[in-house]
A and B are shown apart, each in its own frame.
Chain A
Amino acid sequence: MNPNTNRRFPTRLDIRKGSVDMTHGSGGRAMAQLIDEIFVKHFNNELLCQGNDQAAFEVSGGRMVMSTDGHVISPLFFPGGDIGSLSVHGTINDVAMSGAIPLYLSAGFILEEGFPLADLEKIVISMAQAASDAGVPVITGDTKVVDKGSADGVFITTTGIGRIPDGVNISGELARPGDAILVSGSIGDHGIAIMSSRENLEFETTIESDSAALHGLIADMVSAVPAIHCLRDPTRGGLATTLNELAQQSQVGMNLKESSIPVKPAVSAACELLGLDPLYVANEGKLICICAQQDAQRLLQVMQAHPLGQQAAIIGEVIQNEHGFIQMETSFGGSRIVDWLTGEQLPRIC
């Protein structure tokens, strides 16, 4: 993206009826106009408006983090969000799970020839709104157009950078036997919201995606308990798969209590119908936290005091286990293993 707000074009883009064509990716005037009248107009911020192929900014000392995430979700618009807001939340969350304060985002768009400009603008507005709500501006970007059939509408890749406060060290390999495992709220909302809006599966539900930026919640948690061991957002593969990742990284096992894992009744009903297990259904606005047992109650209070953590719960504990098994006491009264997700439960969920 090479923004230049001073450039003017004889006729404005026909956003209402127009659609993306190959010239919008050509590097020529049509592309400049698209950038001006959609991207710069809505993302509008000082760094982006410098109009360079990169954005330059000051950094303070300390540890920086960087994370990138491609978004290929289908459908592009779903209950509770769209690919635009999701692409902002997803990357902010990946940055924030280190305990960092997210600072800036970049955005790369791959557009399919024929994609309606009205939809593109709607997505960009939603993205800009999400970035502005989060206080993390999109300061540089890129646009490419591919032939019809070579993509599905729009794919968005976002990269974020952030700074970790001094004294914070949060990482997936730091879970220790005895630690408490917390989750910030009900699981499976995003996956079920997406599924309910899929063309071949439409069913009526009031469930909305939980897509949200969690850095505010994390800032509160980190300031209350700087010694948090692990944070991770259970996106694809759900709670079960993310816990397995953490167990493997830390070479520990876990014991969960099924009855303490929050699941909305509508989500469990939809899972029942579709033959899914909510433990494996994706989330976009939830986090898993692992901390020392003595910090658990304090963290739980802080989480429950934040709007995005009201349903937070302690769901189990870390144990010593050479196989890295995650076991669960079922609500029914038996026990079972909670394994990695096998195969593909639902493609293109984020």
Chain B
Amino acid sequence: MKYVEEFRDHDLAQNLSRSIAREVEPARQYNLMEFCGGHTHAIFRYGVQDLMPANVKFVHGPGCPVCVLPIGRIDNAIQLAQQHDVILCTYGDLMRVPASGRKSLLKIKAKGADIRMVYSTQDALKIARDNPQREVVFFAIGFETTTPPTAVAIQQAQREGLKNFSVFCNHVLTPAAIQNILESPEVRELGSVLIDGFFGPSHVSSIIGSQPYEFFAEEFQKPVVIAGFEPLDVMQSALMLIRQINQNRHEVENEYTRVVTREGNLKAQQLVSEVLELRRSFEWRGLGLVPYSALKIKQSYAQFDAEKRFNVPDIQASDVKGCECPRILRGLKKPTDCKLFGTVCTPENPMGSCMVSSEGACAAYWSYGRFRQTEQQPEPSIQEAVL
């Protein structure tokens, strides 16, 4: 397959593996955080860890949009779906995320709520057109990559004069979250280096460009390499990060030059800024309230804002007791450090959001990497190693 197989080539992978092995300093630990779930998925699906020296570790970050959504927002969506006349349109992964009171969208759908799984905002618009007598709410989630299609849908609904379409907006922003992780006491204080470098997001960066990462590469002195989602991209980026670490550099480098520029997609940025604006703060699962880390619908498009159209209260909900999702999302714990992992929490019966999406660290560990635990002693978590 053109433009796909080339980035999964076995021989190139072996070459890169040897280059990385030559590059690493044996006495040093390299803890590389991949922010995006897409990277986590690629690492597990292709077995990238097997091609890395033992002292290079991947730390899985919070870049899975399903995982970081706080339970309260799922509760809100459930309340919306239970309103008479509402059709809630959602992406598939959200269906199984556990909400308060052991509910989920999947469970209330079985009890009669009209919830439709869609593949794009265009599907949701079509459902609104086809059901003029019903209220159609699109449950929008995701990082900067999925934000432009939401903005397009809202503008399209306005142009068409659709009266029954609205968006429950939960779009979040990547740079704010990375900064939050770097500012957390575990990383800043204690003089400990938990994360030595970052794989920068690939699709997100195609929209926002590489520029937004320059500030924290400088401020926090951590190298960032924007990496594509293919396994060879991940390995090449790891090599670039290891070189920066060895040379004590902390720059933003771009491995994914075939897609990402410094400025990003200006047209998409313009479109988003027409329709959406910053929220003062937004709750992230695992990170808590993060200032200016999410988007809401502008007043001029208020009629398409489900939070204005319906009563959407602020819900403070807590995670299931014992669930380590919050710490796993910050890279402080590994899925195998969680007592619930694989005992009561499995992809069939997820207790926390990290076990739901295939981009979630727990689901990836469980589905692709479980056999490693039986072959070797579990490695100490980074927290145990340094605290």
A positions within 8 Å CB-CB of B: 200-201, 259, 265, 268-269, 272, 277, 323, 325, 327, 329-337, 339, 342-343
Contact = CB atoms under 8 A, between A and B. Distances in A.
B189 interface: no
A259 B17 CA distance: 19
Nearest to B96: A343
A339 B366 CA distance: 8
A342 B355 CA distance: 11
B46 interface: yes
A337 B371 contact: yes
B153 to A, nearest CB: 15
B46 A332 contact: yes
Interface of B: 1, 4, 8-10, 13-14, 17, 44-51, 96, 118-119, 123, 126, 231, 347-348, 363, 366-371, 374
A232 to B, nearest CB: 22
A201 B118 CA distance: 10
Nearest to A201: B119
Given A265-B1, A337-B367, A337-B368, A331 B10 contact: yes
Contacts of B231: 332, 334
A337 B369 contact: yes
Contact of A336 (B14, B45, B96): B45
Most buried by B among A265, A269, A272, A335: A335
A152 to B, nearest CB: 16
Contacts of B45: 277, 330, 336
A32 to B, nearest CB: 39
14 contacts: A200-B126, A259-B10, A265-B1, A323-B371, A329-B47, A330-B46, A332-B9, A333-B13, A334-B50, A335-B47, A335-B50, A337-B367, A342-B367, A343-B96
Contacts of A265: 1
Nearest to B347: A342
Given A272-B1, A333-B14, A342 B348 contact: yes
B1 to A, nearest CB: 5
User: Which 3 pairs show the lowest CB-CB distances between chains A and B?
Assistant: A334-B47, A342-B347, A334-B50
A335 B9 CA distance: 15
A200 B374 CA distance: 43
Given A200-B119, A269-B1, A342-B348, A333 B366 contact: no
Contact of B347 (A272, A329, A335, A343): A343
Contacts, number: 74
Contacts of A331: 8, 10
A337 B45 CA distance: 9
Contacts of B374: 323, 325
A269 B231 CA distance: 17
A350 B119 CA distance: 22
Given A342-B347, A343-B347, A333 B50 contact: yes
Given A200-B123, A331-B10, A337 B370 contact: yes
Contacts of A200: 118-119, 123, 126
A332 B370 contact: no
A201 B119 CA distance: 8
A336 B10 contact: no
Nearest to A343: B96
Contacts of A268: 1, 4
Given A330-B45, A333-B50, A336-B369, 8 more contacts: A332-B8, A332-B231, A333-B10, A333-B51, A334-B51, A334-B231, A337-B370, A339-B368
A265 B5 CA distance: 10
Given A200-B119, A327-B371, A343-B96, A336 B47 contact: yes
A192 to B, nearest CB: 14
A144 to B, nearest CB: 25
Contacts of A330: 45-47
B96 A334 contact: no
A10 B126 CA distance: 47
A200 B231 CA distance: 31
Contacts of B8: 331-332
A333 B13 CA distance: 7
A334 B374 CA distance: 17
Given A323-B374, A339-B366, A339-B367, A334 B46 contact: yes
A2 B374 CA distance: 60
Nearest to A342: B347
Given A269-B1, A272-B4, A333 B17 contact: yes
A146 to B, nearest CB: 20
A343 B106 CA distance: 11
Contacts of A343: 96, 347-348
Nearest to A277: B45
Nearest to A332: B46
Contacts of B367: 337, 339, 342
Contacts of B126: 200
B349 to A, nearest CB: 10
B123 A336 contact: no
A343 B97 CA distance: 12
A335 B10 CA distance: 12
A206 B370 CA distance: 37
A334 B48 contact: yes
Contact of B47 (A272, A277, A332): A332
Nearest to B116: A200
Contacts of B348: 342-343
Contacts of B10: 259, 331-333
Contact of A332 (B48, B118, B347): B48
A334 B45 CA distance: 9
Most buried by B among A330, A332, A336, A342: A332
A332 B47 CA distance: 8
Nearest to B42: A332
A325 B342 CA distance: 14
A342 B367 CA distance: 9
Nearest to A329: B47
Most buried by A among B47, B118, B366, B367: B47
Contacts of A269: 1, 4
Most buried by A among B46, B48, B348, B374: B46
A268 B96 CA distance: 27
Most buried by B among A201, A259, A268, A334: A334
